[in-house]
Amino acid sequence: MLEFKNITLKIGRKTILDSVNLKAKKGRITALIGKNGSGKTSLITTACGLSHYDGEILLCGKNIQEYKNKDRAKIISFLPQMMPETSISVYSLVSMGRSPHLGGMGILSKTDKEAILSALRITRTEELSGRSISSLSGGEKRRAFLALLLAQEAPLLILDEPNAYLDISYSSELCTLLRELCDDHKKTILVIMHDISEATEIADDIAILDGGKTVFYGTKNELLATETIENIFGVKRYKAYDGDKTKIFFS
Amino acid sequence: MKPKKLLPIYIALITVLIISALLSLSLGAARLSVHQMISGIIGTKGFSYERTIMLSVRLPRLLSSILAGIGLSLAGVILQSVMGNELASPNTVGVSSGAGLAAVICLSLFPSLSHLLPIGAFFGALGTSILIMALSRIIGGGKATIILAGIALSSLFGASISFFSVLDTDVLASYSAFSVGGFSGVKMSDLTLPAILILICVFLAIALSKEIAILSLGDTIASGLGISPNKIRVISLMIASLSVASVISFSGLLGFVGLVVPHITRKLLGSELKYQLTAAPLVGASLVTLSDLAGRIIFAPSEISVGIIMAFIGAPFLFVLLLGRREKNNA
């Protein structure tokens, strides 16, 4: 659905991305992992149209630069790592997600309102809809911004460390929600994750960036069959058994 | 905020503005009754006492204060949203000083082309807005950088204005009043072009309110929602600059309105931009009208400039704002 082909990004003389190739396949979760400064965020911002790069990004087989902004926003939605500070209500925030679908007058139709309510329901933020964003906890705020993305009804979600700064219970809840979005709502998800264990648990495909280069791209099973993670991140692999399920942790 | 709660607030704001306007027309060195005010405006006597006061002094003054309040409040709301900083205002980010410097240069270099003053002030304001945004991007460091860069630019422009004033004694004579801001001596004919421009700015800002509100969530989210951040930012800054420049062309460097009013509006109606853009002009018009009135009646028949009254209101307000922030940070 989204394909980065030979993406090179330079800021001044520094090369941030060096011929990066990866795909976010339809109906799958692709996790993008890598050390700090490996170019993960820079890569996804190229798809937002916020930076100039060499190479090609294909969205549904068509060069992303050929899309009009609004048309692109109907297919692809972004959630940055840093949540902006705002005091508007959750409902107002989520209703902004309908922006690509609205006409010149900007009036919400019945379909728009249904999409907003559906997004609030999926992210379990219905009860928060009247509250100000600034009054929410970290986890609630993440869910509210995720609802904004869902109201957009784009089939592809790009998320930059959605579980950053969240405690373990909120983080686990968010991972479950991402899996539900993929399995039940047929969303394609490209997500940057800092926790390798969580990434290997929820993702179908994994890409690893190191020093601005793709050092691995493949399915989770292909990755776990090698010692790539251990070699790049200098971590050890542990297995935990829960009944007939086996969980893999890196630490 | 629900529409049911909004309506009484809007009615109250309009009522306050009407009362402020009536008081402004009635009170001053000479006190006029309602009958005298009406006959002064629509009366047929050629040069009656009331008619002279109303048409030559009070009415231009009232319209000046309403327009200044609308223009500066609107610019304040836009700048705070686009820059994502509650301390941004035409004064704190140097937009007013930039417009003022351009106006002084116009006065100094082209004294016969005074009608070009709003255009010169507009380019001064717009150039400063773009410079501030560029500097904060190059330097980085977050929201405080915008204010710090604004303070530095304001100082630079202030020194440049003084420099031009010293070079040109004619400019020096008018600079003192210009730098404080005020409406004495403003004629109806001075207000026609600014009034048209300010009203255009209000309509454009309301039309763009959805895009500006999305932009306040950051470039990545805005871009993800199909908005071109740079395009909307530049258009918004042009609207704010035009609005500030229009006001400066007849009032001089009137401070604090653009900082204070968005905060009052936010307290009254919450953070939704569409409500702020519609309510802030009403609040601003009332505040400037009442400040101008206070300046005229406190030491009547002597007069204190509205700029001085606004500074007396605005500076303590800023301290309260900073104290509020400290308490919020400590909570």
Do the Cβ atoms of B41 and B59 come closer than 8 Å? yes
Instruction: pLDDT band for B123, please (50, 70, 90 cuts).
Output: confident
Nearest chain B residue to A103, by CA? B210
Q: What is the mean pLDDT of residues A221-239?
A: 79
Please indicate whether, in this complex, the C-beta atoms of A152 and B225 are within 8 angstroms of each other. Answer: yes
Residue A152: the pLDDT is 92
**Exposed, middle or buried, B270 (CB in 10 Å: 0-12/13-18/19+)?**
middle
The closest CB to that of B214, out of A49, A68, A99, belongs to A99
Whether pLDDT at B115 is above 80: no
**Which of B121, B10, B271 minimizes the C-alpha distance to A92?**
B271
- Mention every residue, 6+ apart, whose C-beta is less than 8 A from residue B152: B94
Whether pLDDT at A49 is above 60: yes
Per DSSP, the three-state class of A249 is: strand
Residue B13: the pLDDT is 95
Listed range (B22-36, B136-150, B193-207) with the worst mean pLDDT = B136-150
| A132: β partners | A89
Residue B165: the pLDDT is 76
Instruction: pLDDT band for B326, please (50, 70, 90 cuts).
Output: low
Listed range (A150-164, B128-142, B284-298) with the worst mean pLDDT = B128-142
Instruction: pLDDT band for B63, please (50, 70, 90 cuts).
Output: very high
The closest CB to that of A69, out of B210, B220, B227, belongs to B227
The residue that leads in pLDDT, B20 or B138, is B20
Closest approach of chain B CAs to the CA of A64, in angstroms? 13
The closest CB to that of B226, out of A70, A84, A145, belongs to A70
Please indicate whether, in this complex, the C-beta atoms of A48 and B220 are within 8 angstroms of each other. Answer: yes
The residue that leads in pLDDT, B69 or B83, is B69
Residue A21 in contact with partner chain B when CB distance is under 8 A: no
Distance in angstroms between the alpha carbons of the first and the last residue of chain A: 33
Q: A150-206, pLDDT tens digit by residue?
A: 999 999 999 998 887 777 777 787 888 888 888 888 889 999 988 888 888 888 999
Count CA atoms closer than 13 A to A170's CA, side-chain side: 13
Q: What is the mean pLDDT of residues B122-136?
A: 80
Residue B100: the pLDDT is 83
Q: What is the mean pLDDT of residues B306-317?
A: 81
Residue B329 in contact with partner chain A when CB distance is under 8 A: no
Q: Mutate one of B5, B82, B221, B269 to test the A interface: name it (highest A CB count within 10 A).
A: B221
Closest approach of chain A CAs to the CA of B139, in angstroms? 15
Residue A202: the pLDDT is 86
> What is the Cα–Cα distance from B28 to B77, expressed in whole angstroms?
31
Please indicate whether, in this complex, the C-beta atoms of B216 and A69 are within 8 angstroms of each other. Answer: no
CA B142 to chain centre: 25
Residue A192: the pLDDT is 92
Residue B213 in contact with partner chain A when CB distance is under 8 A: yes
Instruction: pLDDT band for B319, please (50, 70, 90 cuts).
Output: confident
Q: What is the mean pLDDT of residues A135-147?
A: 87
Instruction: pLDDT band for B135, please (50, 70, 90 cuts).
Output: confident
Torsion sign, CA atoms B275, B277, B280, B285: negative
Cβ contacts of A68 on chain B, cutoff 8 Å: 226
**Which of A79, A81, A78 minimizes the C-alpha distance to A69?**
A78
Please indicate whether, in this complex, the C-beta atoms of A73 and B225 are within 8 angstroms of each other. Answer: yes
Q: What is the mean pLDDT of residues B82-92?
A: 81
Highest mean pLDDT pick, A24-38, B77-91, B279-293? B279-293
Residue B26: the pLDDT is 85
Q: A54-77, pLDDT tens digit by residue?
A: 888 998 888 888 888 889 999 999
Per DSSP, the three-state class of A124 is: coil
Whether pLDDT at B209 is above 60: yes
Residue B86 in contact with partner chain A when CB distance is under 8 A: no
Q: What is the mean pLDDT of residues B26-32?
A: 78
SS (H, E, C) chain B: CCHHHHHHHHHHHHHHHHHHHHHHHHCCCCCCCHHHHHHHHHCCCCCCHHHHHHHHHHHHHHHHHHHHHHHHHHHHHHHHHHCCCCCCCCCCCCHHHHHHHHHHHHHHHCCCCHHHHHHHHHHHHHHHHHHHHHHHHHHCCCHHHHHHHHHHHHHHHHHHHHHHHHHCHHHHHHHHHHHHCCCCCCCHHHHHHHHHHHHHHHHHHHHCHHHHHHHCCCHHHHHHCCCCHHHHHHHHHHHHHHHHHHHHHHHCCCCCHHHHHHHHHHHHHCCCHHHHHHHHHHHHHHHHHHHHHHHHHCCCCCCCCHHHHHHHHHHHHHHHHHHHHHHHHHC
Residue A171 in contact with partner chain B when CB distance is under 8 A: no
Residue A77 in contact with partner chain B when CB distance is under 8 A: yes
Cβ contacts of A70 on chain B, cutoff 8 Å: 226
Residue B193: the pLDDT is 86
Please report, rounded to a whole number, the percentage of residues in chain B having pLDDT higher than 70: 87
Residue B173: the pLDDT is 65
> What is the Cα–Cα distance from B53 to A41, expressed in whole angstroms?
65
The closest CB to that of B217, out of A49, A73, A86, belongs to A86
Side chain identity, residue A246? T
Residue B227 in contact with partner chain A when CB distance is under 8 A: yes
CA B314 to chain centre: 13
Q: What is the mean pLDDT of residues A85-94?
A: 88
Residue A50 in contact with partner chain B when CB distance is under 8 A: yes
Residue A91: the pLDDT is 92
> What is the Cα–Cα distance from A184 to A190, expressed in whole angstroms?
16
Whether pLDDT at B47 is above 70: no
Please indicate whether, in this complex, the C-beta atoms of B224 and A96 are within 8 angstroms of each other. Answer: no
Mean pLDDT of all residues belonging to chain A = 86
Residue A243 in contact with partner chain B when CB distance is under 8 A: no
Helices and strands (H, E) in chain A, number of each type: 9, 12
Please indicate whether, in this complex, the C-beta atoms of B217 and A152 are within 8 angstroms of each other. Answer: no
Longest dimension (CA), chain B: 65
Q: What is the mean pLDDT of residues B27-37?
A: 77
The closest CB to that of B225, out of A86, A99, A132, belongs to A99
The closest CB to that of A69, out of B220, B228, B272, belongs to B228
Q: Which domains does chain B have, with CATH numbers?
A: 3-330 (1.10.3470.10)
The residue that leads in pLDDT, B172 or A43, is A43
**Which of B32, B69, B61, B66 minimizes the C-alpha distance to B49?**
B32
Please report, rounded to a whole number, the percentage of residues in chain B having pLDDT higher than 90: 21
Cβ contacts of A77 on chain B, cutoff 8 Å: 224-225
**Which of B56, B275, B218 minimizes the C-alpha distance to A89?**
B275
Quote the ipTM score. Answer: 0.86
Residue B143 in contact with partner chain A when CB distance is under 8 A: no
CA B255 to chain centre: 8
Q: B224-283, pLDDT tens digit by residue?
A: 898 888 888 888 888 988 898 888 888 877 878 888 899 888 888 888 888 999 999 999
> What is the Cα–Cα distance from B247 to B240, expressed in whole angstroms?
11
> What is the Cα–Cα distance from A248 to A241, expressed in whole angstroms?
9
Q: Is the peptide bond preceding residue B301 cis, with omega within 30 degrees of 0?
A: yes
Q: What is the mean pLDDT of residues B111-128?
A: 75
Nearest chain A residue to B213, by CA? A96
Residue A104 in contact with partner chain B when CB distance is under 8 A: no
Residue B89: the pLDDT is 84
Q: What is the mean pLDDT of residues A100-127?
A: 87
The closest CB to that of A96, out of B84, B214, B220, belongs to B214
Per DSSP, the three-state class of A194 is: coil
Cβ contacts of A149 on chain B, cutoff 8 Å: 224
A30: part of which helix (H) or strand (E)? strand A29-34
Listed range (A189-203, B133-147, B237-251, B291-305) with the worst mean pLDDT = B133-147
Residue B226 in contact with partner chain A when CB distance is under 8 A: yes
Q: B164-196, pLDDT tens digit by residue?
A: 777 777 666 666 666 667 787 788 888 888 899
Residue A75: the pLDDT is 92
For chains A and B, count residue pairs whose Cβ atoms are closer than 8 Å: 78
Residue A178: the pLDDT is 87
